[in-house]
Amino acid sequence: MGSRDNSGIPNRKKRSKAWKEFSITEEDAEGKPLKAECIYCHSVVRCETTKGTSVFHNHLKSENCKRKRAAIEQTPNASRQIKEKLAVAFYMEIIILMTWSIWTARNDWMFQGIDPMVQQCKRKFMSEFSILLHRARPAMVPNMSVWLYSL
Ligand SMILES: [Zn+2]
């Protein structure tokens, strides 16, 4: 053990903190990283170990990457934004059924070659939602019906 190679670059701590934000996409014959992909914006940067991790820090400071990260941080608010836009008590049912409708449209596309279309997806959603009316709390049904038939 010990003198493993003569390159002068021991294989030591290439895992500095910056590495948590990149995944290696290309290595040289010795398994040293050559290129790595940013987990936020998926840009690929060159990362020879001889150059240290400044390339990572510079990348994370770049405008493009900052913008992407900001967008990612926004994402958890998406369901809150949908909730506020819908402004109805049964927003969660809407989100779930809409997600389901999109999912089935995608499956039809993948497995049956049916082109996904907004109108078709909407019909699916409305049909599912009208079934939901039979199981909803009676007090909710009038509001839900009005909402459904206003679509
Ligand atoms: Zn990035």
Same domain, residue pair 105 and 145:
yes
Q: What DSSP element (H or E) covers 24?
A: strand 22-27
- What spacing in Å lies between the alpha carbon of 101 and ligand 1's midpoint? 33
Same domain, residue pair 21 and 65:
yes
Alpha-carbon span 151 to 143, nearest angstrom: 13
Q: Tell me the pLDDT tens digit for each residue of 47-68.
A: 876 667 788 999 999 999 999 8
Structural domain count of the chain: 2
Instruction: Find the domain containing 134 and state its range.
Output: 88-149
Domain annotation covers residue 23: yes
Helix, strand or coil for residue 131?
helix
pTM above 0.85, yes or no: no
- What spacing in Å lies between the alpha carbon of 43 and ligand 1's midpoint? 6
Q: Give the end of a domain, one of 33, 50, 74.
A: 74
Domain annotation covers residue 106: yes
Q: Tell me the pLDDT tens digit for each residue of 96-134.
A: 999 999 999 999 999 999 999 999 999 999 999 999 999
Q: If pLDDT is split at 50, 70 and 90, which confidence band does 8 have?
A: very low
- What spacing in Å lies between the alpha carbon of 107 and ligand 1's midpoint? 32
